[in-house]
Amino acid sequence: MTTTVLPRVNYLNVRHTLASWLFTKDHKRIGLMYLVVVTAAFALGGVFAAGVRIELTTPEGDFVSADTYNRLFTMHGVAMVFFVLIPAVPAILGNFVLPLMIGAKDVAFPKINLLSWYVFVIGFVFTLAAMAFGGVDTGWTFYTPYSTQFSNSSVMLTGIGIFITGFSSILTGLNFMVTIHRMRAPGMTWFRMPLFVWALYATSIVQILGTPVIAITVGMLALERALGFGIFDPRLGGDPVLFQHLFWFYSHPAVYIMILPPMGVISEVIACFSRKPVFGYSFVAFSSLAIAIFGFLVWAHHLFVAGISPYSAMVFSFLSFAVAIPSAVKTFNWTATLYKGAIWWQAPMIWVFGFLGLFLVGGLTGLFLASLGLDVHLHDTYFVVAHFHYIMVGGAIMGYFSGLHYWWPKMTGKMYSNSAATFAAVLVFVGFNLTFFPQFILGYLGMPRRYHVYAEEFQVLNVMSTAGASLLGVGYTLIASYLIHSVFRGRAAGDNPWGATGLEWETQSPPIPENFDETPIVTGGAYEYTKRGAKVA
Amino acid sequence: MAGHISPKSTYYTIFGSLMVLTAVTVSVAFVNLGALNFPVALSIAILKATLVILFFMHVKYSSRLTKLICGTSFFFLLVLFGLTLTDYLSRGWFAAPGGTAGAGTQVTIGPAAPEPASVEP
Amino acid sequence: MPNGAVAHADPHGPASAAGFGAGGHDHAHHPALQHHFQTLDQQHEASTLGMWIFLVTEVMFFGGLLMAYLLYRVWYPEAWSEGSEELDIVLGGFNTVVLIGSSLTMAFGVRAAQTGEQKATVRWLLLTIGLGLTFLVVKGFEYYHKWELHHIPGPNFSFEGPHAAQVQIFLSLYFGLTGLHALHMIIGCAIMGVITWMAHKKRFTPEWYTPVELAGLYWHFVDIVWIFLFPLLYLVDRARQLS
């Protein structure tokens, strides 16, 4: 039942002062505050990417110097990994939706939630300062001994920024884990929880176990660079590869922080827009936990050609194949969810289809890289770049946009134009493939990554890639435009414009500050679509 | 809100045990057990930590979830150590034709020629 | 209704049976109960769970340094032996006794809060802080001594011995591990100061003493770290030095 006007009192208008936002403890406001910072970081990372792609349009190094190019791709990576991909779905969508989904008034520790936002912003400020001083040129991976002894760039500042931001991720994970354990409404057993909640729980496990390790590793890097402590210094007998082990112990599970929440989004959206429960609910739920745990066992596949023992490499190669299995389980189950469903083509669902195809390609190409023999040839080529962009942009970012479009009416109370959203989704899909598919071929042909010059025969594919990147830029800008437009001019969306199941859809849009008038009591499972009638018009 | 209240004697007993174990670990350190010194010292430390966890931190009387969380943190610590050591302990197993040790063998920089990594813990 | 959720008019209907007080307050509640929680019990369980999860992050935080320690101990046993010899067993042993003692006093402090013995709580907490500060003072002396000997890694490092370079790695890890531990002790003492003040102001009762309990968990964790650091750093290859 749609209403024609917005509800009178909601979390957005209950108080208007700046202080009421900056000192809020409301998880919904905190989610929006993250949206602002993450979007800024996304734009910044996009600008750096533009610099990279413009340089790569020609084989010569004629746009920027090699040193500047190193800084461009490094800052692109730092901004996108730490300030977009890691926080986007958990800190924006998770913060907003999780308490609503489980029937709670807020997360377990609202003040810590606000603190985690401030920590995030402070880390971002340090990193921006580093960028203002010329940025870092080591690659976002900061390998020693270049980063500790030879790089003449803002390694310390960026390191401090990343160290601080890591705590934001830890605090969010801690908060979500306790919230899910202790704040569920009466009747919401573990197996009645929506799959997005399972995904956030699994993500929290990774955030809690992994992030401290990169924190201490960056700390050791800083001690070595600033004070001359020799832990990775080969002149003293230290091992630079130890840095790589410690760095990737976090950074590989980190990619599961980036993909698990969007996978949770996909489960929610695919159920709603197929009008069916997700096929194999418990398998999907357990596969999230399996990915989180197995994800900690595979990190040295980033070190295959770094000089580790071949026997160790075989172990990690085997484990890297194994970690693909739970992801495959999800993909099969989502596909089975579509079968005999009543597909409703709205914007969130279009992003889902984009995700399904692109995540599949990205995931399968990961297996190519997990094969030792192939990796010897493909490591540090554009094949790797294409692989992770398929997962992170084709997978994680598309999952994020699916969720943003799905819950936007709940967050703002307004509906955006579905035709504009459809057009943007298709534009991004086309632009994405044009940008990154040629990079698989380039990598296979041998073009190395992180080089600002390349052999002439690679130019055509590079030009295609740059053209695709331009389309991506247009598409993302379009999304920002119509979403912002909807806030001011969109029609009121009503409590449940999608006719979706889920506790978050049973309260008003936008919700009241306490989320629910009365604590809901849950008596059924998460996706009881078979009990619903025809889709909402 | 009722947490388990331990009798004072429990705390004194545990403290006494910890003192004894501290004395043991210092004394045993001065006995030459060769390669066993490290595992013995580590085992005593693990025993001491277990006593603190179970009795001072009340894990013995806590929920299964608390016990699971405790165990999980040590499990993942072991994953970090164990899987990293699969690399370091097996370097040098692979000898390439031509006599030099395989890629990644520990090489010390100094006057002596590089020696294969012989690892005696 | 979808999802099987039932909106109920009576706030003390089925919800109370499940142990949750839904809807408005028509009863007084403990001043420490925060409004997004239904009961003090739920809040206490959430708080302790949160502290345990935080301690997991601390385990992994120290874990990175311990991994570096483990690797280099395996690679450079002689340097580890020489480096450990430079550390003072008497001071290290004394500090171990002091810190384990502070865990005892902390446990008694929590127990006193559990039984409502307010003055005893304050005394035990003050004793804990005192022992913690003692530890830090001794550590300060040790660091100062190291500085005098030019054993602090970096440009001023100087060490006589055949494995000086790797001894510098040992000492880097010594300062890294004990420095991080000392930082946690300082933060712990500050937290204990706040808790002691709250206890002095009679904020704790047998119904609610959660901050004392949480501070206790943190303090015991810091003790456990030292229980490992002492043998790992101070007791390496001591048998050889006797011969």
Beta bridge partners of A137: none
Give me the residue from B86, B93, B109 closest to A234, CB to CB. B109
Does A311 lie at the interface with B, CB-CB under 8 angstroms? yes
pLDDT band at C240 (very low <50, low <70, confident <90, very high): confident
CB contact under 8 A, B1 and C93: no
CB contact under 8 A, B87 and A310: no
The pLDDT of C74-101, averaged and rounded, is 95
- pLDDT value at residue C32: 87
Q: Give pLDDT tens digits for A509-537.
A: 899 999 999 999 999 999 988 755 544 44
What does DSSP assign to residue A492? E
Q: Give pLDDT tens digits for A313-352.
A: 999 999 999 999 999 999 999 999 999 999 999 999 999 9
Q: What are phi and psi of C208, to 5 degrees?
A: -145, 105
Q: Give pLDDT tens digits for A423-436.
A: 999 999 999 999 99
The pLDDT of A492-516, averaged and rounded, is 94
CATH number at residue C196: 1.20.120.80
Does A312 lie at the interface with B, CB-CB under 8 angstroms? yes
Domains of chain A: 18-531 (1.20.210.10)
Rounded to a whole number of angstroms, the distance from the CA of A63 to the nearest CA of chain B is: 38
Q: Is residue C168 part of a domain?
A: yes
Q: Indicate if ipTM > 0.90.
A: yes
Segments forming the whole domain that contains residue C135: 39-237
Give me the residue from C35, C46, C153 closest to A230, CB to CB. C153
Contact yes or no for A183/A98 (Cβ under 8 A): no
pLDDT band at C70 (very low <50, low <70, confident <90, very high): very high
Q: Give pLDDT tens digits for A26-76.
A: 999 999 999 999 999 999 999 999 999 999 999 998 999 999 999 999 999
- pLDDT value at residue C13: 33
pLDDT band at A7 (very low <50, low <70, confident <90, very high): low
Q: Give pLDDT tens digits for A270-313.
A: 999 999 999 999 999 999 999 999 999 999 999 999 989 999 99
Rounded to whole angstroms, the Cα distance separating C226 from A214 reads 22
Which chain B residues touch A311 with a CB distance below 8 Å? 86, 90, 93-94
- Of C9 and A252, the structure prediction assigns the larger pLDDT to A252
Rounded to a whole number of angstroms, the distance from the CA of B55 to the nearest CA of chain A is: 24
Share of chain A above pLDDT 70, in %: 97
Q: Is residue C177 part of a domain?
A: yes
CB contact under 8 A, C49 and A106: no
Does B65 lie at the interface with A, CB-CB under 8 angstroms? yes
Angle between helix A281-294 and helix A310-338 axes, rounded to 10 deg:
160
- pLDDT value at residue C86: 93
- pLDDT value at residue C202: 94
CB contact under 8 A, B69 and C53: yes
Whether residue B97 is predicted with pLDDT greater than 70 in this model: the reply is: no
Q: Is residue C22 part of a domain?
A: no
Find, in chain A, the residue whose alpha carbon is nearest to that of C16. A186
- pLDDT value at residue B100: 42
Q: What are phi and psi of A52, to 5 degrees?
A: -60, -50
CB contact under 8 A, C242 and B30: yes
Rounded to a whole number of angstroms, the distance from the CA of C3 to the nearest CA of chain B is: 28
Question: C202-213: string of b/e by CB count within 10 Å (b at 16+)?
Answer: ebbeeebbbbbb
pLDDT band at C200 (very low <50, low <70, confident <90, very high): very high
Which chain B residues touch C77 with a CB distance below 8 Å? 120
Rounded to whole angstroms, the Cα distance separating C94 from C182 reads 15
**What part of A 316-355 touches B (C-beta under 8 Å)?**
316
- pLDDT value at residue C27: 54
Residue-level length of chain B: 121
Whether residue B105 is predicted with pLDDT greater than 60 in this model: the reply is: no
- pLDDT value at residue B101: 46
SS3 call for C6? strand
B101 Cβ contact partners less than 8 Å away, ≥ 6 residues apart: B91, B92, B94, B95, B114, B116, B117
Neighbours of B83 (CB within 10 A): 20
- pLDDT value at residue A6: 67
A347 Cβ contact partners less than 8 Å away, ≥ 6 residues apart: A405, A416, A418, A421, A422, A425
Q: Is residue C186 part of a domain?
A: yes
Residue that the structure tokens 């979808």 belong to: C2
Does B100 lie at the interface with A, CB-CB under 8 angstroms? no
- pLDDT value at residue A363: 96
Give me the amino acid identity at A291.
Answer: I
Rounded to a whole number of angstroms, the distance from the CA of C12 to the nearest CA of chain B is: 22
Please provide the average confidence, as pLDDT, over all residues in chain A: 95
CB contact under 8 A, C111 and B5: yes
Q: Is residue C81 part of a domain?
A: yes
Rounded to a whole number of angstroms, the distance from the CA of A518 to the nearest CA of chain B is: 26
Find, in chain B, the residue whose alpha carbon is nearest to that of C90. B26
Q: Give pLDDT tens digits for B63-85.
A: 999 999 999 999 999 999 999 99
pLDDT band at B4 (very low <50, low <70, confident <90, very high): confident
Please provide the average confidence, as pLDDT, over all residues in chain C: 89
Whether residue A455 is predicted with pLDDT greater than 50 in this model: the reply is: yes
Rounded to a whole number of angstroms, the distance from the CA of C162 to the nearest CA of chain A is: 12
Cis omega (within 30 of 0) on the bond before A240?
Answer: no
Q: Give pLDDT tens digits for A139-174.
A: 999 999 999 999 988 999 999 999 999 999 999 999
pLDDT band at C31 (very low <50, low <70, confident <90, very high): confident
Share of chain A above pLDDT 90, in %: 92
pLDDT band at A112 (very low <50, low <70, confident <90, very high): very high
- pLDDT value at residue B106: 54
Share of chain C above pLDDT 90, in %: 80
Which chain A residues touch B108 with a CB distance below 8 Å? 237
Question: A149-188: string of b/e by CB count within 10 Å (b at 16+)?
Answer: eebebbbbbbbbbbbbbbbbbbbbbbbbbbbbbbbbbbbb
- pLDDT value at residue C243: 55
Rg of chain A taking only CA atoms, in angstroms: 23
Which chain B residues touch C240 with a CB distance below 8 Å? 32
- pLDDT value at residue A83: 98
Which chain B residues touch A316 with a CB distance below 8 Å? 83
Q: Give pLDDT tens digits for A206-228.
A: 999 999 999 999 999 999 998 88
Contact yes or no for C72/A245 (Cβ under 8 A): no
Beta bridge partners of A415: A491
Does C19 lie at the interface with B, CB-CB under 8 angstroms? no
One DSSP character per residue, A143-191 reads -TTIIIII--S-HHHHHHHHHHHHHHHHHHHHHHHHHHHH-PPTT--GG
Q: Is residue C89 part of a domain?
A: yes
Rounded to a whole number of angstroms, the distance from the CA of A165 to the nearest CA of chain C is: 15
Does B63 lie at the interface with A, CB-CB under 8 angstroms? no
Give me the residue from A181, A237, A307 closest to B104, CB to CB. A307
- pLDDT value at residue A371: 97
Which chain B residues touch C64 with a CB distance below 8 Å? 80
The pLDDT of C83-92, averaged and rounded, is 95
Whether residue B98 is predicted with pLDDT greater than 80 in this model: the reply is: no
Size of interface B-C (CB pairs under 8 A): 132
Q: How many domains does chain C have?
A: 1
One DSSP character per residue, A393-457 reads IIIIIHHHHHHHHHHHHHHHSEE--HHHHHHHHHHHHHHHHHHHHHHHHHHHHTPBSS-S---GG
Whether residue A476 is predicted with pLDDT greater than 70 in this model: the reply is: yes
Compute CA B78 distance to the chain's CA centroid, rounded to the nearest angstrom: 9
